[in-house]
Structure 1
Amino acid sequence: MNYTLHQLQVFLKVSQNESVTKAAEELHLTQPAVSIQLKNFQDQFEIPLTEVVGRKLYVTDFGKEIAVAAENILNEVYAINYKTLAYQGQLSGRLKISVVSTGKYIMPYFLAGFLKKHEGIELALDVTNKAQVIGSLERNEVDFSLVSVLPANLQIEQEELMQNKLYVVGNSDEKFPRKSYGIDLFETLPLIYREPGSGTRYVMERFIEENKLPVRKKMELTSNEAVKQAVMAGLGYSIMPLIGIRSDLKNGNLQIIPVKGFPITSTWRLIWMKHKNFSPVARSFLTYLKKEKSTIIAEKFSH
């Protein structure tokens, strides 16, 4: 046999997700690239690792055993690297964090100083949708998750980071000359929504329901970036987090429409499972975050 560590990593992700597409997303690879690596790995075994039934991929019993072995091998490889660094007196190990898509605009700033201070740490940062973020936390695949809406049915602990402010936004074609508009403006604005389960959509729908607004739902898109591009193209309006549109406001591609009651706010929180057994790296990062978060917010997000 002549399989590679990369093939083990690919097969492990495929087996965890039971999907080539989802594995490709989490590994930041193309779907064909994952399929090729999966085939090359399968070719080294006479017994099938996976099977497709009705267009759904399933991992065979043999494949599940190989997945467990693959995870053990990869963990041992990581351990070798970390033990070498630890022997040299460096804090070392993997820090695994899952982040909802909009959180990609803030999480790097809370990580940068810590990673510069500890060069022996390997970061695994997964930016994905809320359902996958919560799923990876529940399966104990990550140390922390960054969310703006807390999961309802998990026992977690949390560290508040900063406010998440959401505004009504549109492109720059139409003029809104008044200093303030009432919420009845929503009767005329075709709204673009995020997908169900999104934290942004949850906050948006909660505001609409609390105020009994008759809204015109225009379309539904699966990422903050897709919503932003649709709004800039003039396809409609949306309620969006300020953190993801600051540069677009500055260069005039988007405008904030001054509606009473806005901004509406949620809170960015770093969460972890209750009774989580932290690694030295995860414990050190949490200590760093509690100490430095106020300084980071003042330096990076106060403008």
Structure 2
Amino acid sequence: MNYTLNQLRIFVKVAQNQSITKASEELHLTQPAVSIQLRNFQDQFPIPLTEVVGRRLYLTEFGKEIALASEKVLSEINAINYKTLEYGGNLAGQLKIAVVSTGKYVMPYFLSGFMTKHSKVDLVMDVTNKASVIRSLENNEVDFALVSVLPKHLNIDKVELMENILYLVGSEDSLKIDKKRRLKSLANAPLIFRENGSATRMAMENYLNSKNIKVSKKVELTSNEAVKQAVVAGLGYSIMPLIGIKNELMNDSLKIYNLPGLPIKTNWNLIWMSSKRFSPVAKTFLKYLKEEKESIIQTEFNWFKSYAKKEYG
């Protein structure tokens, strides 16, 4: 057998995406180039690695075993490269962080300075819903996770980053909520929710339940951006984190509505398993975060504090 590291990388990426198209996009290669390398890799095995069923590509059982072995080989190659850099006096390695979807408005600001300072560190940041983030942490697939609701079933440590504030928002063109009867009006208004597993959805449902509001019109969307655009378009109202609607508030495409019991206040926390054995990269990042956290908040999120203190009609 005479397969190359490039073929291993391509096969692993195809296996992860179960799609040549998506793999080519992530690898910044053309589809024909990926297909050729995949075929050359397959030609070295007497057993099929993939199969196409109903126009979808799947790994065979043998293909799954080869994908796992390939990932291990590539991981060891990366380890050799990082060790070489470390012996040259550079901090090197991967920093892996899972972030709940709304956290994408928060986490990059706490990473930027660190990544600039340590150019040999590679960042892997997975932005997904809360359930997937916690699963990644529990399975030791990441170093850290950013959440606003702490998992009660895991033994974790944490660094509290900053406050997370959620308001009821709607567009200027949406159905006006009667100021005198807002809670009752909300029950009859179309409400837009995140998908199950989202901490924002959980906060919204808890609020509605606490006020005995029975939802009559409900829309469910799978990302914070989708919810925001739906609210801007006037499809309904939603309870959303302030951190993700800065531009829309500034250009008046979203309006905050005052209701009893709002805003909801939680905290953004960077968490990790208490039993986690940190790599030098993870250890250095945690030290950086503790030292620079307040400065980052003051520099990057000063606008956030001013909005949070406002009174809304």
- TM beyond 0.5: yes
1:126 is aligned to: 126
Distance 1:73 1:211, change over 3 A: same
Shift of 1:265: 1.7
Distance 1:79 1:300, change over 3 A: same
Query: Is residue 178–residue 185 contact of structure 2 (8 Å, CA) maintained in 1?
Result: no
d(CA) in 1 for partners of 2:100, 2:25: 14
1:109 is aligned to: 109
* 2:173 aligned with 1:173: yes
d(CA) in 1 for partners of 2:100, 2:165: 16
d(CA) in 2 for partners of 1:240, 1:29: 38
Structure label with greater radius of gyration:
2
1:214 is aligned to: 214
Matches of residues 30-45 of structure 1 in structure 2 within 5 Å? Answer: 41-45=41-45
SS in 2 for 1:113: helix
1:247 is aligned to: 247
2:299 is aligned to: 299
SS in 2 for 1:127: strand
d(CA) in 1 for partners of 2:274, 2:48: 38
1:260 is aligned to: 260
Query: Is residue 182–residue 260 contact of structure 1 (8 Å, CA) maintained in 2?
Result: no
SS in 1 for 2:112: helix
Instruction: Summarize deviations over 1:155-197 as a string: whole Å, max 9, x none.
Output: 3222221111111111122586988874333123210010001
SS in 1 for 2:270: strand
d(CA) in 2 for partners of 1:264, 1:133: 22
Q: TM-score, normalised by structure 2?
A: 0.82
Distance 1:218 1:61, change over 3 A: closer
* 2:159 aligned with 1:159: yes
Which shifted more, 190-199 or 28-37?
28-37
Distance 1:37 1:150, change over 3 A: farther
Shift of 1:50: 4.3
Matches of residues 8-23 of structure 1 in structure 2 within 5 Å? Answer: 8-9=8-9, 11-12=11-12
Distance 1:113 1:6, change over 3 A: same
Shift of 1:289: 1.0
SS in 2 for 1:126: strand
Amino acid at match of 1:132: S
SS in 2 for 1:45: coil
Query: Is residue 177–residue 186 contact of structure 2 (8 Å, CA) maintained in 1?
Result: no
Point out where structure 2 has 5 or more consecutive residues left out of the alignment. 304-313
Amino acid at match of 2:259: V
Query: Is residue 154–residue 273 contact of structure 1 (8 Å, CA) maintained in 2?
Result: yes
Name the % identity. Answer: 63
Amino acid at match of 2:223: S
2:190 is aligned to: 190
Distance 1:32 1:160, change over 3 A: farther
Distance 1:180 1:286, change over 3 A: farther
Shift of 1:140: 1.5
Which shifted more, 44-53 or 201-210?
44-53
1:63 is aligned to: 63
2:231 is aligned to: 231
1:271 is aligned to: 271
Q: May I ask how many residue pairs the two structures share in their alignment?
A: 303
Which shifted more, 146-155 or 287-296?
146-155
d(CA) in 2 for partners of 1:227, 1:287: 35
SS in 2 for 1:168: strand
Distance 1:231 1:51, change over 3 A: same
SS in 2 for 1:196: coil
Shift of 1:32: 11
Query: Is residue 186–residue 216 contact of structure 1 (8 Å, CA) maintained in 2?
Result: no
Amino acid at match of 2:154: L
Point out where structure 1 has 5 or more consecutive residues left out of the alignment. none
Query: Is residue 177–residue 185 contact of structure 2 (8 Å, CA) maintained in 1?
Result: no
d(CA) in 2 for partners of 1:57, 1:75: 25
Instruction: Summarize deviations over 1:128-158 as a string: whole Å, max 9, x none.
Output: 2223222222222211111122234333222
Which shifted more, 5-14 or 94-103?
5-14
Amino acid at match of 1:187: A
Query: Is residue 174–residue 234 contact of structure 2 (8 Å, CA) maintained in 1?
Result: no
